[in-house]
Amino acid sequence: MDNTRLFLYAGLVFISMLIYQQWQADYGPKPEVAPTQYSQKPSSTSEDGSDLSITDIPDVADTQQQSPVDMIESSANSSVTQQSGKLVTVQTDVYDIVINTVGGVLESVKLRNYPVSLENKTELIELAFKKQDSVYLIQSGLRSKDSPAPTHHSKYQIDQESYELADGEDNLRIALNWRKDGIEVIKSYEFERGQYLINVNHQIKNNSTQNWNGSQYRQIQRSRPLETSRLLNTYTGAVVYNEEIKYDKVNFDDIEEGPLRLSSAGGWIAMLQHYFLSAWIPTEQENNLAYSIANIKQYPAAYSIGLRSANMNVDIGSQGEFNSRLFIGPKLVHELEAISPGLDLTVDYGVLTFLSKPLYWLLEFFAGITGNWGFAIILLTLSIKAVFYKLSETSYRSMAKMRKVGPRLKTLKERYGDDKQKMNKAMMELYKTEKINPMGGCLPILVQIPVFIALYWALLESVELRQAPFILWIQDLSIQDPYFVLPVIMGISMFIQQRLNPTPPDPIQAKVMMALPLVFCVFFAFFPAGLVLYWVVNNILSIAQQWMITKRIEAGAES
């Protein structure tokens, strides 16, 4: 089989895998949802007497039904009249956070160890924000049918407006207070040094004249991203996980088409973007209703993914509390694995996770040895080439033999002209005489294609490569080469490889093959430098192996 077909088949497999992954994301099976009833309650009254058109929180519980989980309000798609509150700043060793006393909502969460770019280290990645044209908010609250309960629109009181995790301290607790009709709620955030995991607690003190019965909800609300990459399309949107459905994406279109209602024990919900996530994680045995809400008639349109707990009863004169964990931070695999089952799946390797994970572990191992992720990529490439050495050798031997009989194939084409039947018969006889397997150059390469794709996703999803330097001009392996040196080297290496391969007998095919290095050079100019580095090293090693095999076979022919 000539080299053109080799590239075409390899490209077909690669593209087919990417199309299948995207099809699964867009049209794959969705979780079965629990049947629910909707109560239309377009407005509610706040503790100061003002009317709130609440469309972005779950509805109150139906305590008469004693349901294990509460029903969720459908979106009425109307605006919310928001109270004004104080903005409380919190600084830890990993966070810069702003909490609004209205609802205790996290309105800004900046990651101190992750600047937006190397050129601007003072501007930090922000995983919660409230802007004119986009929002990303972390919200939680309580809901009760017959008793007072603070939602994320209720106003809390707080002792001070600034908190900081001091040197020598390992913990920091922020407490907000709310009171009405004998019900007191203390909402607290607890931070630990070096951790991206926050403990969130709602403590209910019932000093009223009747039992308090209600539930908690936790949700993440955000608008669609303003910018997306068409070339490197990573997932941005919501995810739901439990032991029954496992990992399921709920994108913005899904939320807009219809609300999610899914009964769940344990599990978690999250909002993902490239390299980072925020997730609400309940206790493992807690019964919840996972839900989604779309507010598409407001600006900016906002989409919420959340969890609603079962009802809890707090007797007169007693106390009760709801506890949850909130993760806001980078997709560091080992940390996510330790927090909750399945949370590491947010590092989304696609359908080839079973291959991508071992490749990531090996890459991490080499990075630990070398202290440089660029050198780790080189060592990983060497390891992969060593594993597939024999397969590659078979492929290159077949190509070398095809190259050797290239002039004779050209003579056959001239002899038989357009008589394809006689031409094919003569070619098969020649292959049989020279003991050449036309498929020998293609199949070994096709076997390696899944590994190449898995490595592609392992490199693309590894937050450790973000702003990781290599050498000289490459100071960030997660973005394109600023001077396009690696893409040019890759194009040159592809050209050299072509010179070692048999020339296609068809002149048009030969011209197409000659253009491929330039096409790939332009294509890879927009890829992250870490990915291009892998292909450059792989091509150089392939050239060395192919050159040795070709020279050996040609020398054998001469002797």
pLDDT digits (tens, 9 = 90+) for 118-135: 888 889 999 999 998 999
Sketch the domain layout of the chain as residue ranges.
Answer: 3-19+356-558, 36-346
Query: What pLDDT is stored for residue 377 in this prediction?
Result: 92
Longest dimension (CA), the chain: 104
Is 115 in contact with 125 (CB distance < 8 Å)?
yes
Mean pLDDT of the chain: 80
Q: Which of 58-67, 371-380, 413-422, 439-448 has the highest mean pLDDT?
A: 371-380
> How many Å apart are CA 453 and CA 15, to the nearest integer?
10
Residue 59 per-residue DSSP state: P
Is 27 in contact with 19 (CB distance < 8 Å)?
no
To the question of pTM greater than 0.85 for the whole model, the response is no
Query: What pLDDT is stored for residue 539 in this prediction?
Result: 85
Per-residue pLDDT tens digits for 484-519: 888 889 888 888 877 766 665 566 666 776 777 788
Percent of the chain topping pLDDT 90: 41
Query: What pLDDT is stored for residue 296 in this prediction?
Result: 86
Q: pLDDT band for position 521 (50/70/90)?
A: confident
Query: What pLDDT is stored for residue 440 in this prediction?
Result: 55
More confident residue, 557 or 35: 557
Per-residue pLDDT tens digits for 421-476: 777 777 777 777 766 666 555 655 676 778 878 888 888 888 998 888 988 898 98
Query: What pLDDT is stored for residue 52 in this prediction?
Result: 38
Q: Is the dihedral of CA 160, 162, 163, 166 positive or negative?
A: negative
Per-residue pLDDT tens digits for 193-221: 999 999 999 999 999 999 999 999 999 99
Region 157-163 average pLDDT: 93
Residue 31 clears pLDDT 60, i.e. is over it: no
SS3 category, 232: coil
Sequential DSSP letters for 501-549: SPPPSSHHHHHHHHHHHHHHHHHHTTS-HHHHHHHHHHHHHHHHHHHHH
CA dihedral 368, 371, 375, 376 (to 10 degrees): 20
More confident residue, 162 or 541: 162
> How many Å apart are CA 5 and CA 8, to the nearest integer?
5
Residue 531 clears pLDDT 80, i.e. is over it: yes
Residue 61 clears pLDDT 70, i.e. is over it: no
**Based on the number of CB atoms within 10 Å of its own CB, is 508 exposed (0-12), middle (13-18) or buried (19 or more)?**
exposed
Which of 170-174, 264-268, 403-407 has the least mean pLDDT?
403-407
Domain 36-346: CATH architecture, name and number where available: Distorted Sandwich (2.70)
> How many Å apart are CA 54 and CA 365, to the nearest integer?
50
